[in-house]
Chain A
Amino acid sequence: MHANLFNHTFTYLVTVLKKDKLKIIFWLLGISFFVVAVGHAYPALFPDQAELIGLAEAMRNPMMVAMFGPVYDPENYTIAQALGNQMLIFSMMFSAIMSIFIVSKMTRGDEEEGILELIQSLPVGRLTQTGVTVILIVFMNIILALLIGFGLALIPEDSITVVGSLTYGFSIGATGILMGAITLILAQLFENNRTVMGMSFLVLGVMYLLRGMGDLSENILVWLMPLNWPARVEVYINNYNELNVLTLGVSFVLFAVGCYLNLRRDLEAGMFAQKPGKTAASKVLKTPTGFVLRLLKAGLIAWIVTLFILGLTYGSIFGDLDTFIEGSDIFEQMLPGGEYPLNVQFMSVIMMVVALTAGIGPIMFLNRLATEEKKNHTEHLYARALSRTRLLSIFTVTALISNALLLFIGSLGLIMGVQVSMDEPIGSLQILQAGFAYLPALWFMIGLGVLLIGFLPQKTSIIWIYFVYAFFAVYLGNVINLPAFFSYLTPYGFIDQLPIDAFRILPTVIILTLTAIMVALGYVGYIKRDLKG
């Protein structure tokens, strides 16, 4: 009955490799270069053993454990252990993100654009597209694992063993394959590319947060989250590669489930039946602003929930932080002796993560305007009595306001978590101030986004490259003490970490002025240029 399910898989695979070669190379080299380059910087970062022991102690505080996983062998902490401890989970996120993008695009993305229909009309099997997707994602992750494994093995440092480095790479590859399989299943359940990507990132985020909770209290959550298996291989110590094999095993079961679901459903249909919708637009939808909000509704809700959970999770760690600090001599020695307690200092670091995360959604909301143009949707609007200034303003203002809203929600989650978990909670006002101090930097990114929409509408993704750079420059700058220069290339580097730093008016004014200039230029560009449709 299902004869030739995989007919012409090889031919199609070759076509895809040719078509997407640049994209594939960009992902593989981009990720492996970054991971390997950071690895090569490690030996110079911690020249003596005392510093490493101090670092191990710092990494054992609950917040760090929730973010990076446990420290397995603090007495014999080596450079290799520090690398595995601080970088493995984050590097795993790269391969996970790569897999989500590639699988979602090749399944629902191609289906949505009608490409799959064209391919299915050729004498190819019903599972050819799915099969090629699976082969490609497995192949890409294997290459990534090898590039990273051998790249790290070259580091001239005794504790960084070849087996450990290969395990490191293997963990990253296994994570990518796992997320590819999860995305494949989600692509069968939901009908459009955007939803599939959103749900995949949600699953990844929830798994990451829950595994953090698991690592913190060493409970069942540690092993319940498959994402944690590649992370708990105890890289450069015990190299439990069995866990990676287990991850791969589960991934292949998930791939099979994905293929089965794919066969069960019709082209362009989801697993959930469609209900008839409204035959008329609501009052809100009839206004341009209401219409834009409707377009962004799902994303806005998702980001509000994400920020709240993120804030709450981090906030709930603070209770353990207090007891941990009291019991640790080394930690108390590490206190800078300033007027603020250590948990307030950690709050300001946490706030940086919350603020950076709060900046992602609004950039997506703004860039939706460029996507709408690419999809020939804006021509309907501009053929009517709607000016370019007006529509661009609606998107820009929505992005700016949602920055403030998401910062508030993230801070609110943090406040609630802190209130519940701490005996003497950090002041709510302090937390809000720390959060809103980041608003100018988030707005700067929106300004850059408007500038790109005005002049380089085809290249709006440049902002993501800059954002990822900013994230690592600022965030890793804090963790591994990168020179401040790197973070001064981003607006975040100039933000005062309240209440540790005093608030300075000048950087805020400069950032906001630059933002205003970029927005103004972006408007001029957008109003004067040709639109695609």
Chain B
Amino acid sequence: MAVIKVDHVSKCYGKVQALKDVNLSVNEGDIYGFIGPNGAGKTTLIRVLLGILKADQGQAHMFEKDVWLDAVDIHKKMAYVPGDVKLWPNLTGGEVIDLLINMRQKTNGDKKLALIKKFDLDTSKKCRSYSKGNRQKVALIAALASNADVFILDEPTSGLDPLMEKVFQEEIMQLKKAGKTVFLSSHILSEIDTLCDHVSIIRDGEIIESGPLEALRHLTRTTVRLSTKETITDLDQLKGVHDYSVESGMHVFQIESKAMDALIKHLSRYSITRFESNPPTLEDLFMRHYQGV
């Protein structure tokens, strides 16, 4: 069942089109990665999902309810962490956590204390004196302590140290085990790589790629470095081979996933002395799409 469903959503700020006909579908229990360069429209889409911004065209639903009309009902079962956490300077971290937890109906006091300990946050300090990372911890604790079914996280780890990032990843894995749905916007690709099942890439307000992470990997090219006893000359003639070059006696090229079989069959006629292949990383995927190649 699709917990989050976005149908043909467009949003303009004056003449700037922030979202162009965006379609998305997040199934229950998915950890859904949402990536894209700065200013691509990630936060705008999230704010449409929260019912803070109204879509100019199209519809967005959560739990099969309209995100604009039924915002309050939806939010009872949803938790959110903003990308740029701004807090009330005069309240302490502890006060803000309690305040935010209590504005949703379901609460979990023990979980709150455990999370404060895990994230190592001094809750007696006023929010004014918190660093970006500590402000993010406040929002994360308030969100994770809730019994929500859907978690929308907008670059939640951009201010956390590696240790805390690990704690965060553990918490997300816990959520996954518990069958919760997570919509995670991030720039940290290793994080998406470890956590997510599905990925959507947004650029200039358009979703340019979307699907299971494994399927997306097939869209990219594997880098191959090899050397053979006999000389091969026709490698660059093979279908699906790109950027062919010879570097200190090694043939280096990129190959499309679907051409791999043909390559192996072709190579079998030569005796191979060395063969290295680097699987496509999310980085390659990212770069390829971001740069619009």
Interface residues of B in 111-130 (CB under 8 A from A): 123-126, 128-129
Query: Do residues B82 and A379 form an inter-chain contact, with CB atoms below 8 A?
Result: yes
Bound form: Cα–Cα A528–B52 in Å: 10
Select which of B53, B87, B125 is within 8 A of A277 by beta carbon. B125
Chain A residues closer than 8 Å to B125, beta-carbon distance = 274, 276-277
Count chain B residues whose beta carbon lies closer than 8 angstroms to a beta carbon of A.
42
Residue from A287, A288, A291 with most neighbouring chain B CB atoms (10 Å): A291
For the complex, give the distance between the alpha carbons of A386 and B72 in Å.
6
Most chain B CB neighbours (cut-off 10 Å) among A294, A377, A380, A528? A380
Stretch of B99-107, B157-165, B169-177, B259-267 lying at the A interface: B99-107
Contacts of A387 in B (CB 8 A): 71-72
Is there an interface contact between B84 and A277, defined as CB atoms closer than 8 Å? Answer: no
The A-contacting residues of B in range 37-71, CB under 8 angstroms, are: 47, 50-54, 71
**Chain A residues, Cβ within 8 Å of B47:** 379, 533
Q: Give the chain A neighbours of B89 by CB distance below 8 A.
A: 112, 192
Majority DSSP secondary structure for residues of B touching A: mixed
A39–chain B nearest beta-carbon distance, Å:
43
Q: In the complex, A383→B153 CA distance in Å?
A: 12
B94 touches A278 (CB 8 A): yes
Q: Number of residues in A with C-beta < 8 Å to the partner? A: 36
> A280-B94, A286-B102, A377-B88 are contacts. A274–B126 as well, Cβ < 8 Å?
yes
Cβ 8 A contact of B71, one of A112, A277, A280, A382: A382
Kindly supply a per-residue 1/0 record for chain B positions 250-275, scoring 1 wherever the CB is within 8 Å of any chain A CB and 0 otherwise.
00000000000000000000000000
- Provide the residues of chain A in CB contact with B50, threshold 8 Å: 379, 382-383
Contact A192 B102 (CB under 8 A): no
Nearest CB on B from A265, distance (A): 14
Knowing A291-B99, A382-B71, A530-B52, the reply to whether A277 touches B139 (Cβ < 8 A) is: no
Specify which of B76, B84, B102 lies most central, judged by the most chain A CB atoms within 10 Å of its CB: B102
Contact of B82 among A191, A376, A529 (CB under 8 A): A376
Interface centre among A280, A291, A383, A386 (most CB of B within 10 A): A383
Q: Which residue of B lies closest to A276 (CB)?
A: B124
B193 contacts partner chain A, Cβ-Cβ < 8 Å: no
Which A residues are CB-close (under 8 A) to B95?
A: 277-278, 280-282, 285
Residue in B90, B102, B139 whose beta carbon sits within 8 Å of that of A281 in the complex: B102
Q: Determine if A385 is an interface residue (Cβ-Cβ < 8 Å).
A: yes
CB B99 to nearest CB in A, in angstroms, measures 5
Q: Known A277-B95, A278-B124; judge A384-B54 contact (CB<8 A).
A: no
Q: Within 8 Å of chain A (Cβ to Cβ): is B197?
A: no
- Complex Cα–Cα for A286 and B95 (A): 8
Q: Cβ of A376: which chain B residues have Cβ within 8 Å of it?
A: 82, 84, 86
Tell whether B75 is near chain A: CB-to-CB under 8 Å.
yes
- Among residues of B, the one whose C-beta sits closest to the C-beta of A387 is B72
Contacts of B100 in A (CB 8 A): 380, 384
B72 touches A285 (CB 8 A): no
Partner of B53, one of A279, A381, A383, A531: A531
Q: Contacts A375-B86, A382-B52, A383-B80 known; A278 to B105 CB distance under 8 Å?
A: no
Compute how far the CA of A381 lies from the CA of B52 in the bound complex, rounded to whole angstroms.
11
Shortest beta-carbon distance from B110 to chain A in Å:
14
Complex alpha-carbon distance, A530 and B72, angstroms: 16
User: Complex: how many Å from CA A281 to CA B95?
Assistant: 4
Chain A 392-432 interface mask (CB, 8 Å, partner B; 1/0)? 00000000000000000000000000000000000000000
A278 & B92 in contact (Cβ 8 Å cutoff):
yes
Q: Is A220 an interface residue (CB 8 A)?
A: no
The answer to the question of B91 belonging to the interface, with a C-beta cut-off of 8 Å to chain A, is: yes
Complex CA–CA separation, A381 to B180 (angstroms): 22
Report A-chain residues with C-beta under 8 Å of the C-beta of B4: none
Report A132 CB to chain B, min CB distance, Å. Answer: 24
Q: A385-B104, A385-B105, A387-B72 are in contact. Are A533 and B94 (CB under 8 A)?
A: no
A37 within 8 A of B: no
What per-residue 1/0 map shows which CB atoms of A459-493 lie under 8 Å from chain B?
A: 00000000000000000000000000000000000
Top 7 A-B pairs ranked by shortest CB distance? Answer: A281-B98, A277-B92, A384-B103, A279-B94, A383-B80, A276-B124, A286-B102
- Chain B interfacial positions (CB closer than 8 Å to A): 47, 50-54, 71-73, 75-76, 78-80, 82, 84, 86-92, 94-100, 102-105, 123-126, 128-129, 139, 152
Beyond known contacts A277-B126, A285-B91: 10 more, CB 8 A cutoff:
A192-B90, A274-B126, A277-B92, A278-B124, A280-B94, A282-B95, A375-B86, A376-B82, A383-B82, A385-B76
Task: Give 29 A-B contacts (CB < 8 Å), ordered by A residue.
Answer: A268-B128, A274-B125, A274-B129, A276-B125, A277-B92, A277-B94, A278-B124, A279-B92, A280-B123, A281-B95, A281-B102, A282-B95, A285-B98, A286-B99, A291-B99, A375-B86, A377-B88, A379-B47, A379-B52, A379-B80, A383-B52, A383-B78, A384-B100, A385-B75, A385-B103, A386-B72, A386-B75, A533-B47, A533-B82
